[in-house]
Amino acid sequence: MHSKKAAYSQKRIAVIACSNGLGHIRRLILILSFLIKNEFKHEIHFFCSEKKLNLIKNWDEAHILINSDVNIHDFEYPMDQNDIDERLVDKNWFDIELPNLDNYDVVWTDNISQVLEVRDDAIMSGSFFWHEVLENYKDKKIFEDFASNQRSLIKKTNPYMIANEYFATSEVKALKNFIPVGLYKFTSEIFTKDSNNILFSCGLGGEEEDWARESILNILGNNVRPPGKLFVEPKILPEAYPDWMLPADFSMEMFNSCLAVCIRPGLGTVSDALISQNKIFCYTKPNSFEMNNNIRVLEDIGLGEGCLDPLDAYMSAINYLSSDAQIRKQLLNCIHLRTDGVFATARFIMNRITN
C-alpha cells in the first residue's frame, strides 16, 4: 500500500498483526498511532491484512496510520481465509508466509508465535496463545502436535509477552518475561452516562453467529423490549426491525450510551465495554478456550457473568438495568480498573528500541 520512508531512520521495526478477527489489528494500530502522535522517529513496517485494514479505514486511529510514513504491507495469518465467518478450527493455522525479517532491529507481533522461528528475539503481545485455543477442539487431534511444537518454541526462545494483566491466560502469566499492562483504551474522550441502552453482538469469529441470530428473532417474536435502545451487530440484524432496535456501529459513543452488553467476550470488545463502564453478559460455545477464560476473569472481578446462551444474556441484561444499586456498583468498580495498555505497551516498545 505504501512505500514511503521517514526522512531519517535510526532503527527499523517490523510489526506483524494476526488477521483473525479485528482485535489484533485494532490493538496494534492503536499503539502505533500513539507512537506516531508522540513523534516516533524510527522506520515502521506494518504487516497486516489489507482487507481487514480496509474495514476500519475510517476509524480515526487507522486514518492516522494510513496517512503517516508507516510502510504498510499486505499479510495474512491464518492464511487462505475464504469466509470471514468460518470456524476457527477450519482455518489454516499451520502454513505461514512470513516476510524477510533479517534486516529489522526490532520485530513485534500480536499473537503469532511462529515469528519466533525466524526471530527468536521477537516481542509478542496478546493475552493468549493460539495453540491454547486450538487444542481445545477435541475432535481435531492434529492441533496436539501444533500445540506441542509452539510450546517448545516459546520455552526455547523465552519471549517478552505484553499482555493484559486481568485477562492473560495462566500460560501467558507463567512466562518469565511476562509484561502485564492495563486495558487498551480506544478513545481518550470522556463521556457521561445518560442513557440505558444494550449492545447485542456475536463478534467476527463466526462461532456463535447462528446462535445469536436465532436469539434476535426470538426477542423480536416475543417483543422483548429493552428499557432504552438495543444495538445489534449488523450481520445478525433482520431486514425489518422496530424503532427500539438499531444497527451497532461499535463506536465509543455507542458503548458509552449503553449500560450493559451481551457479547461473545473477545478482549477488544471486553475492553471497550469495561472502559465505558458496561456490565458484561457473556455467551460462548463450551470449547472456546479464550472466551471461557475471559468469562472466568469477568466473574472473578465482579464485572460480568457467563450466561447459558445469547437470549439468557439479554434477559439478564434487562434484569440488571432494573437495579440502580447494581449499576452504581459497576460504574464505581470500572472507574478503578487499570487502563494504561496503550501507554505501557508503547513505552516498553520504545525502551526496547533505544536500549
- Distance between CA 47 and CA 270 in Å, rounded? 25
262, 314 contact by CB (below 8 A): yes
Phi, psi of 348 (to 5 degrees): -65, -45
163, 180 contact by CB (below 8 A): yes
pTM of structure: 0.88
Inform me whether the pLDDT recorded for 189 exceeds 80.
no
Inform me whether the pLDDT recorded for 67 exceeds 90.
yes
244, 196 contact by CB (below 8 A): no
Over residues 30-58, the pLDDT tens digits come to 999 999 999 898 999 999 999 999 999 99
Lowest mean pLDDT among 92-101, 104-113, 191-200, 208-217: 191-200
Inform me whether the pLDDT recorded for 87 exceeds 80.
no
Over residues 273-283, the pLDDT tens digits come to 999 999 999 99
Over residues 193-208, the pLDDT tens digits come to 889 999 999 986 667 8
Q: What is the pLDDT of residue 138?
A: 65
Q: What value does the mean pLDDT of the chain take?
A: 91
One-letter amino acid at 199 equals: L
Q: What is the pLDDT of residue 348?
A: 96
**What fold is seen in the domain 197-335?**
Rossmann fold (3.40.50)
Confidence tier at 1 by pLDDT (50, 70, 90):
very low
Q: What is the pLDDT of residue 88?
A: 81
Instruction: Provide the 3-class DSSP secondary structure of residue 121.
Output: coil
Over residues 112-128, the pLDDT tens digits come to 999 999 999 999 999 99
One-letter amino acid at 347 equals: R
Q: What is the pLDDT of residue 95?
A: 93
- Distance between CA 52 and CA 110 in Å, rounded? 15
206, 236 contact by CB (below 8 A): no
> Residue 47's closest CA among 112, 120, 138?
112
Q: What is the pLDDT of residue 4?
A: 45
Percentage of the chain with pLDDT > 70? Answer: 93
Taking residues 141-163, report their average pLDDT. Answer: 94
Q: Which of 105-119, 130-144, 284-298, 341-355 has the highest mean pLDDT?
A: 105-119
Inform me whether the pLDDT recorded for 27 exceeds 80.
yes
The CATH number for 12-185+340-354, chosen from 1.10.3470, 3.40.50, 2.40.128, 1.50.10, is 3.40.50
Q: What is the pLDDT of residue 5?
A: 44
Confidence tier at 6 by pLDDT (50, 70, 90):
very low
Q: What is the pLDDT of residue 8?
A: 47
Q: What is the pLDDT of residue 205?
A: 61
- Distance between CA 274 and CA 91 in Å, rounded? 30
Residue ranges matching CATH 3.40.50.2000 in the chain: 197-335
